[in-house]
Amino acid sequence: MENIKNAANLIEKGELVSFPTETVYGLGANACDSDAVLKIYQMKKRPDFNPLICHVAHQDAIADYAVLKDLDMLLAQAFWPGPMTLILDKKQNTKISDLVTAGLNTVGFRVPEHPTAHQLLSAVNCPIAAPSANVSGQISPTSFEHVEAAFSDAVYILNGEAPSVGIESTILRCHDQDVEILRPGSITKEMIEALIGRPCLERMSSNINAPGQMTSHYAPKAKLILNNAQNDSADGFIDFGGQFKSLPENIPYVDLSPEGDLSEAAKNLFATLHKLDKCASTIIVAKIPDHGIGIALNDRLKRAAAPKDDHAR
């Protein structure tokens, strides 16, 4: 608990703390302190038009900052604590920094289930704004070592259990009786539709109104070639379910899930990208089924393979 106390003290003093969640490691600051939030943008080299997500220990803590409507409450009851973010209308005169919301009239909130995240959030008197603890646009961190490699000793890092999900939260926005998926994640379209009894809305605007919407994101330095496309220059392979039957010897190779389990593949995705990015310049990725959490996996891979100048806009 001493580490939690140290981390909480740093947050309340306006400093940054990295901490594990069930999705990835976050880089956190007091969401009500603009000077502290600015440090996140500066450390990550994150564009200021890209909003952040606020994290709280309990749903009740949101009431002072944003409005939870009936459909939001239904989703919260079903999926919190857990890897779901709700984009909510800000309350008037909210204390949430405008830097967190990138000047929008909405703010994202999440209640993590990871024990270390919950302990930290319970120990502070403010929401913690926390994007992934990496340089903007680069591979998301799923271990203490990934954060340490990105920021060295420039940030206090809380260690804890490894993220059990391994990809960022599902982001949702409620419109009357409909739910719009702004970013897919492990809370899948099928799960949401089963709860609300109607089809979800796909993302309705090309404007950036939530994290994870930039064309290039989650990206290694290496070039990614998706869907098992052949390329003679490849010097790394990411498989799924043993699709690659014949490969050159001594070429770096990882199977995200030999048994074809999409949840296992999601948990292993970013660690695999970190591993192969150290030794490969062109990586071929096997085809991932585009259903369930596979939709989120393909979203991350598509953005990781996109031209790498978008995140710098």
- Closest among 257, 291, 259, 287 to 271, alpha carbons compared: 257
**Domains (ranges, CATH) in the chain?**
2-196 (3.90.870.10), 223-312 (3.40.50.11030)
- Closest among 233, 68, 223, 213 to 131, alpha carbons compared: 213
* DSSP-derived pairing of the beta strands 84-90 and 66-67: antiparallel
One-letter amino acid of 182: L
How far, in Å, CA of 12 to CA of 123, rounded?
10
In the structure, what pLDDT confidence band is assigned to residue 247 with cuts at 50, 70 and 90? confident
Preceding peptide of 81 cis, ω within 30°: yes
pLDDT in tens, 257-273: 999 999 999 999 999 99
How far, in Å, CA of 157 to CA of 268, rounded?
21
How many of the other CB atoms lie within 10 Å of CB of 48? 10
**Is the per-residue pLDDT at 12 higher than 50?**
yes
Is the separation of the CB atoms in 142 and 271 below 8 Å? yes
pLDDT in tens, 57-115: 999 999 999 999 999 999 999 999 999 999 999 999 999 999 999 999 999 999 999 99
How many of the other CB atoms lie within 10 Å of CB of 105? 8
pLDDT in tens, 202-232: 887 777 778 887 788 888 999 999 998 777 7
Is the separation of the CB atoms in 129 and 37 below 8 Å? yes
